[in-house]
Amino acid sequence: MDHRKLGRCGPDVSLVGLGANNFGGRIGLAESRRVVEKALELGVTLIDTADIYGNKGGSEEVLGQILGPRRRSIVLATKFGLPMDAAGTQRGAARGYIMQAAEASLRRLKTDWIDLYQVHRPDPGTPIEETLRALDDLKRAGKIRFIGCSNFSASEIEAAQHTAEEKNLTSFVCCQDRYNLIERELERDRLPVMRKHELGLLPYFPLASGLLTGKYRQGEPPPTGSRLQAHARYADSLLTQRNWRAVTALTAFAAARGHTLLELAMSWLAAQPCISSIIAGATRPEQVEQNVAAVDWRLSPADLAEIDRIAP
């Protein structure tokens, strides 16, 4: 397993990470344990979760039960900010809530520190300086090591990094955003800002929620229980004629070279220098094996140019 730096000054992380969004919800403790054990066996060193995953806290609780002494050998990442109660009062990035959320995550994860603590989405009601000061205090207290953001716009990333530098506060080392072969919007605005500030990129939905695995068929409804069946609005934005044409052409491209569409999707991400680790979720050990093996395909410059022509 190759390793890369998490941004300019973050820790080394495995090129393929494990997304724990299914733990404690879609799959239970026993199934999650098998997935984690396979990931660790294959050299995965980054596990990413969030307080909201697993029906609000379930994913962190499952990881807390599974990791035990092995927790010290991984980079453990979690996120805060999305609503954790029905009333929507436990949410956001204000100082008071950050301190409360961090303690709750530490308790569920059964750990004394979080390696990467990420703002799950921007909080327009809280000045970024307040958020960064709270995170800076958590770092000084030894409760978190590095910080990152998720789903921030280019201007929000720029404002956060400028504020951290100006006020001498801990700054983000990475951004976590949706990015895959057919969802490349961040290349237009956010990616240049990440490069400017030497931030690592942790792409989520690397397989476009299954579209880049062949799970879905054009003209047929998404399978019951699939992500796109559960999220109709996202499905409508993803299952477009443009994307179906791209998937067909990319499948043919991969097959002509003796590979699958999944292998192409993962290896294309691995070829992007901005990416620190690919956050790939899994519900079965075999999926972890597929994801790790997929990045062994090293795409040539000619391959990458052809892919850009197929799916710009």
Residues 226-266 pLDDT 10s: 777 677 777 888 889 999 999 999 999 999 999 999 999 99
Largest CA distance in the chain: 55
pLDDT of 218: 85
Torsion of CA 257, 263, 268, 270, to 10 degrees: -130
Under 8 Å CB-to-CB from 229, ≥6 apart: which residues? Answer: 221, 222, 223, 235
Q: Which of 86, 144, 137 is nearest to 118 (CA)?
A: 144
Domains parsed from the chain with CATH numbers: 3-210+263-300 (3.20.20.100)
Annotated catalytic residue within 53, 117, 179, 204? 53
pLDDT of 17: 98
Residue 80 carries which side chain, given as an amino acid letter? F
CA distance 241 to 35: 35
CA distances to 17, 211, 236, 241, 242 from 217, rounded to whole Å, are 28, 9, 14, 12, 14
Active site residue 53: yes
pLDDT of 33: 98
Q: Which residues of the chain have pLDDT under 50?
A: none
pTM of this prediction?
0.95
Q: Tell me which residue has tokens 């030894």.
A: 142
pLDDT of 73: 95
pLDDT of 222: 78
Tens digit of pLDDT for each residue in 140-182? 999 999 999 999 999 999 999 999 999 999 999 999 999 999 9
Helical H runs in the chain?
29-41, 53-67, 95-109, 128-140, 154-167, 190-196, 227-230, 232-238, 241-256, 261-270, 285-294, 301-310
